[in-house]
Chain A
Amino acid sequence: EAQVTQNPRYLITVTGKKLTVTCSQNMNHEYMSWYRQDPGLGLRQIYYSMNVEVTDKGDVPEGYKVSRKEKRNFPLILESPSPNQTSLYFCASRSGANVLTFGAGSRLTVL
């Protein structure tokens, strides 16, 4: 089944403790992206990647890092999480027909 898989789905952590949210797609898509969703603010793009080793900032990149060493994986790294990064995170990959497939989401709480 074609899908985008994110882990963990839920995470509670403390300020400053580095964490990684993994994202993997099995559709051989070149384009991948991370969004965060906050009430009233919609889906805001954090980073995107157009291919292996090619990444760029979205609208809200501060406090996040990404890497794209393999086509299928696009992890989101929070080096020193802060409470304002408490959010629902979605990874997505884009087909050649410009359709985004989203992962199920990762709900992160930073205390």
Chain B
Amino acid sequence: QQPVQSPQAVILREGEDAVINCSSSKALYSVHWYRQKHGEAPVFLMILLKGGEQKGHDKISASFNEKKQQSSLYLTASQLSYSGTYFCGTPSGGSYIPTFGRGTSLIVHP
């Protein structure tokens, strides 16, 4: 069962901030974030393993609210290189391999 991402798309100017949300109807034990640039394979950004955990990667950070079964990805002072589709994923069953949401398309304009 796919996690639900919102919004579906975000259009920004360089320097603006964005938030991408990921929620699940099932209990979340971990949340995985990946970015896919146009024509390329998805690339790992970060994993959050515990409720309340927050992580950062350059100016991209994420939080994980286990109780609310939600995670959010924060992109601060967006750069052109941030453009792409962002996916959140949550492991399902015993596979430990994530099931991904439908993705959020982020476009950063000069």
Contacts and interface: CB of A to CB of B under 8 A. Distances in A.
Interface stretch (A16-24, A41-49, A79-87): A41-49
A10 to B, nearest CB: 12
- The A interface, classified by DSSP as helix, strand, loop or mixed, is strand
Contacts of B34: 100
A68 interface: no
Contacts of B51: none
Interface string A92-111: 10100111111111000000
B44 A100 contact: yes
A99 B47 contact: yes
Interface of B: 1-2, 5, 30, 32, 34, 40-44, 47, 87, 89, 93-103
Interface of A: 31, 33, 35, 40-45, 48, 50, 56, 58-59, 90, 92, 94, 97-105
